[in-house]
Structure 1
Amino acid sequence: MTRALFIIDVQNDFTEGGALGVMGGADVAARITEYLRAHRGEYERVYASRDWHDGDNDNGGHFATGAEPDYIDTWPPHCVAGTTGAEYHPAIDTALIDAHVRKGQGVPAYSIFEGTLDDGRLFPVVLDDDGITAVDVVGIATDYCVRASALDARKTGRAVRVFRDLIAGVAPTTSDAALAELETEGVTVERSTPQAAGA
């Protein structure tokens, strides 16, 4: 198998202190870099996605305007293109990333498969061109963009693993439900490294 790593949306707005910060986000960012430095040789390619929303419109209803966000389909403004909130968390070593994928850009988008590279190519086309047959998924948030990206990877027939120690979710209940759904769909959910006995 030709394996790739997906780093999903490890951005300032999704970590502590950001517009939609999740608990544990900064720690996950640091642990992803630590993991990747130790395991870079296992991956043919490393792709990282970012929400990259327009700042002058509601992004197809994704940003709540005129009403409170429901935190299901509508959200407070976040990850607006060109802002600090849209940048990778500083603990992510971007030198380890082969390709950067932007998603949103005027429309709601959760999965990395909805994104484009900086040169405008559609991500699914790039993944096929690169010959990727297996994917490991890490990042934020377990119950939204990690879930959507892993499901789409499975739908394309690839072998998929999600590393439970390298993800952070919005809420425990929805994150647990997302991981259970992924396993039902054939995704392997496991730790990135074996856990020591008694740990």
Structure 2
Amino acid sequence: MFKHKVIFWDVDTQYDFIQEEGRLYMPGAKTIIEKISMARNFALENGFSIIASTDWHNPSDQEISAEPNYIETYPQHCIANTTGSQRIGFLGDLPIKYISVEPIKHIQLKELVNTKQFHIVIRKNKIDVFTNPNTRPLLDIICPEKIIIFGVALDLCVSYTVDDLLKLSKAQIIVLADIVKGLGKKPDDIVLKEFQQKGVTITTLAGLHEVLDVAT
């Protein structure tokens, strides 16, 4: 397996979601912080690339509401350039490149990934990372064969990411069951079972060696 054909997809592992003091804390999310760091370290140490999605909100965004319904609207969280929007855990030494919500030229996207290894953050102001107009073209350029997903919220942003990737990519989709937490809309084990029924491979950080042929 060529290493540039394997992508670690890091979903919304930000302060407001995974620290107890955060504005939209996912129950139990603090317990996966160490493994979030371990997954990133494993990827970077073994020459694999990382794509991370992050919420990057303005208080005026449609998703933000003082009276949230927790379906289309949520309390204020992950406001741009605040502590709440910061990614938590080990990030490594590889320079991180950022993709904003404004469209970027195809040639510029190609330049971002025209390297042996990359660490890219895709910013978004809606639940689904594919509402960023650059996400689909970036995926098409990379054309990965395996995509390893972890992060939060399992029953929201992770689910959107998994479903989108199943539709838009021919890659094997792999979810790390011990590095995800949900908002509680649906039990985590039910969400993972539904993923499996769609053809997603469910494994753990320790089980990565089986899907990548690399020691964990």
Rounded Cα–Cα distance in structure 1 between residues aligned with 2:68 and 2:194: 25
* Contact 2:65 2:73 survives alignment (8 Å): yes
Rounded Cα–Cα distance in structure 1 between residues aligned with 2:84 and 2:202: 29
The residue identity in structure 2 corresponding to 1:110 is I
* Contact 1:10 1:25 survives alignment (8 Å): no
* Contact 2:41 2:92 survives alignment (8 Å): no
Question: 1:125 deviation in Å?
Answer: 1.0
**Equivalent residue, structure 2, for 1:119:** none
Distance verdict in 2 for CA 1:172–1:144, change over 3 Å: closer
* Contact 1:46 1:99 survives alignment (8 Å): yes
Uncovered stretches (5+) of structure 1, i.e. residues with no partner: 117-121
After TM superposition, list the pairs within 5 Å mapping 1:165-176 onto structure 2.
165-171=178-184, 173-176=186-189
Task: List per-residue Cα deviations over 1:166-195 (Å, max 9, x = no partner).
Answer: 111112834333222222221112212149
* Contact 1:140 1:146 survives alignment (8 Å): yes
**Equivalent residue, structure 1, for 2:131:** 114
Rounded Cα–Cα distance in structure 2 between residues aligned with 1:42 and 1:113: 27
Rounded Cα–Cα distance in structure 2 between residues aligned with 1:39 and 1:94: 10
Question: 1:110 deviation in Å?
Answer: 2.2
1:63 aligns with 2:80: no
2:40 is matched with which residue: 36, 51, 57? 36
Distance verdict in 2 for CA 1:5–1:30, change over 3 Å: same
Uncovered stretches (5+) of structure 2, i.e. residues with no partner: 97-118, 209-216
**Equivalent residue, structure 1, for 2:9:** 6
**Equivalent residue, structure 2, for 1:19:** 23
1:132 is matched with which residue: 124, 133, 144? 144
**Equivalent residue, structure 1, for 2:85:** 86
Aligned CA RMSD, in angstroms, stands at 2.2
- Report the identity percentage: 28
**Equivalent residue, structure 2, for 1:54:** 58
Aligned length: 180
